[in-house]
Amino acid sequence: MIHVIMGPPCAGKSTFVAEHAADGDIRVDFDRLAQALGSPVPHGAKGDVASVAFQARQAVIDAVLDGVGVDSWIIHTTPDPVQMERYKEKEAEITVLDPGIDVCLERAEQDGRPEASVEAIHAWYKNQDKINEEKEIEQGKGATMRKFKDYQISGVKAGPDDGLGEGIFEAYASVFGNVDSYGDVVAKGAFANTLQKWAESGNVIPALYGHNMGDPFYNIGAVTHAEEDEHGLKVEVQLDLENPTAVQVYKLMKGRRLSQMSFAFDVLASGETEVDGEKANELRELQLFEVSVVPVGANQETEILSVKSQADALARGLKEGRVLAAKHINSLRKAQEAIGEVIEAAEATRESENAKASQTASPLTPENPQQVKGQEPAGAGHAAAVYAYLKLATLTGQN
């Protein structure tokens, strides 16, 4: 299988390959080739070294397309039409990593990337309309193009104790209406057509671990039911308990050591929208390829929903006369304090950013890196939500 990993600089392409490629697979990475050929910097090779590295990369790509006996992973930011046609002819699996321009620019600054990388990020996003016009890929002819989006499992039910069969879990693979860290918001109805097509095809939506499509043992189960409700895309998954990988994933989920869902998709229709006064990219129709259990997610809203569900359960217990021990009351106070600190920090940051915005006539645009600062409180919010969730889960007996 030939895997082509596309996306702007700082999208995480090298990391993706490192996480998914097996030992002995061929990996085509321009930056690493350039360093092997003498570039003194990890990114932004120049001069003769860059020229030779480009030639070396193309030579390896040509050899891969001619046929090799192992899987190959090609990092290719933006293939030209001729190269893309060659990939399609070989039925390559094309993965687009698109974390959003703000995230890429922030990473570029943190990594100390050269100005050329920043310019390439802007150029890649300006070229997205052209990339999205690859209709043959969208329709599944030749190569396949996939993007990924992650979500915290909200209110997961797993196993007989939850009234389900052994090896079965329920979760939301996506939620509607809130903006995730990629700047996307999924609209209700986005999955309607793709779920109908899956049903009509007679095929089963696969459940994977970590989007690993190359290893059959990472195909850990099947989606036995999927539907949209008012909250999001709700799935029921039957894990294959004869598969040791699935057994381990199931154990980790029941032990609350795995709590994230993700799905691979292609965007068929999208447009600009506004959520709580902020612009966002609304995903209006998606083509669903698979759902995955993953270690890390992007959508923070569902974590808050998990905390709320635990709090509701605890409140019901108290109304029924349940008595809390002193240590549990202290745990609740600590969780409350943690969330309070996050809210205060977020409000202070928002006030600071609003003050800065009022002092400048320059609008916030993708070229203006001030937009990135608004993401800083999200990490703290994530940590506090997880902390509160664990405390509440302990109190409600679900840990």
pLDDT digits (tens, 9 = 90+) for 112-152: 888 888 888 888 887 764 544 443 344 333 444 556 665 55
% of the chain at pLDDT higher than 70: 64
351 and 288 assigned to the same domain? no
Write down the pLDDT at residue 159.
54
Q: Do 294 and 153 reside in the same domain of the chain?
A: yes
325 & 340 share domain = yes
Domain count, the chain: 3
**Cα–Cα–Cα angle for 129, 130, 132, nearest 5°?**
65
| 50 and 136 co-located in one domain | yes
Asked if 228 and 291 sit in the same domain, the reply is yes
Per-residue pLDDT band for 367 (boundaries 50, 70, 90) equals: very low
278 shares a domain with 391: no
Report the percent of the chain where pLDDT is more than 90: 20
Q: Looking at the structure, do residues 121 and 181 belong to the same domain, yes or no?
A: no
98-102, 174-178, 264-268: least confident range: 98-102
Q: Quote the pLDDT of residue 146.
A: 59
Structure tokens at 114: 């050269």
Residue that is last in its domain, among 142, 159, 194:
142
Expressed in angstroms, the distance from the first to the final Cα of the chain is: 41
pLDDT, average across residues 236-265: 86
Q: Evaluate if residue 73 carries a pLDDT over 90.
A: yes
Identify the residue with better confidence: 255 or 361: 255
**Given a cut of 60, is residue 201 above it in pLDDT?**
yes
Buried b (16+ CB within 10 A) or exposed e, 233-247: bbbbbbbbeebebbe
Per-residue pLDDT for 42 more than 60? yes
Q: Is the pLDDT of residue 158 over 60?
A: no
Q: Is the pLDDT of residue 217 over 70?
A: yes
> What is the bridge-based pairing of β-strands 26-28 and 144-152?
unpaired
- CA distance linking residue 162 with residue 101, whole number of Å: 41
Across the chain, mean pLDDT equals 74
Q: What was the pLDDT predicted at 259?
A: 76
pLDDT at 330 over 60: yes
| Confidence at residue 136, expressed as pLDDT on a 0 to 100 scale | 38
Tell me if 311 sits within 8 A of 392, measured CB to CB: yes
Final residue belonging to a domain, choices 238, 268, 299: 299
Instruction: Examine the domain organization and report whether 212 and 108 are in the same domain.
Output: no
Q: What is the mean pLDDT of residues 157-164?
A: 54
pLDDT at residue 125, as a whole number: 81
Domain containing 47 equals: 2-142
pLDDT at 120: 87
Contact between residue 152 and residue 303 where contact means Cβ atoms under 8 Å apart: yes
pLDDT digits (tens, 9 = 90+) for 46-72: 888 888 988 999 999 999 998 888 899
138 and 154 inside one domain = no
Model pLDDT, residue 263: 86
Task: Encode the chain in three state secondary structure.
Answer: CEEEEECCCCCCHHHHHHHHCCCCCEEECHHHHHHHCCCCCCCCCCHHHHHHHHHHHHHHHHHHHHCCCCCEEEECCCCCHHHHHHHHHCCCEEEECCCCHHHHHHHHHHHCCCHHHHHHHHHHHHCHHHHHCCHHHHCCCCCEEEEEEEEECCCCEECHHHCCCCCEEEEEEEECCCCCCCCEEECCCCCHHHHHHHHHHCCCCEEEECCCCCCHHHEEEEEEEEEECCCEEEEEEEECCCCHHHHHHHHHHHCCCCCEEEEEEEEEEEEEEEECCEEEEEEEEEEEEEEEEECCCCECHHHHHHHHHHHHHHHHHHHCCCCCCHHHHHHHHHHHHHHHHHHHHHHHHHHHHHHHHHCCCCCCCCCCHHHHHHHHHHHHHHHHHHHHHHHHHHHCCCC
Tell me what pLDDT residue 27 has: 93
Give yes or no: residues 117 and 163 share one domain.
Answer: no
Residue 343 pLDDT level (bands cut at 50, 70, 90): low
> CATH number of the domain that 104 lies in?
3.40.50.300
Among the candidates 267, 299, 331, a domain finishes at 299
* pLDDT at res. 339: 60
Read off the pLDDT of residues 267-298 as tens digits, 9 standing for 90 and up: 889 888 888 888 888 999 999 999 988 875 44
* 259 plus 364 within the same structural domain: no
Of 28-42, 85-99, 296-310, minimum mean pLDDT range:
296-310
Lowest mean pLDDT among 48-62, 174-188, 317-331, 362-376: 362-376
pLDDT at 154: 44
Q: Does the structure show a pLDDT above 60 at 379?
A: no
Q: What pLDDT does 398 receive?
A: 45
Same domain, 270 and 161: yes
34 near 49, Cβ under 8 Å? yes
Q: What is the pLDDT at residue 352?
A: 55
Report the pLDDT value the prediction gives residue 327, as an integer from 0 to 100. 57
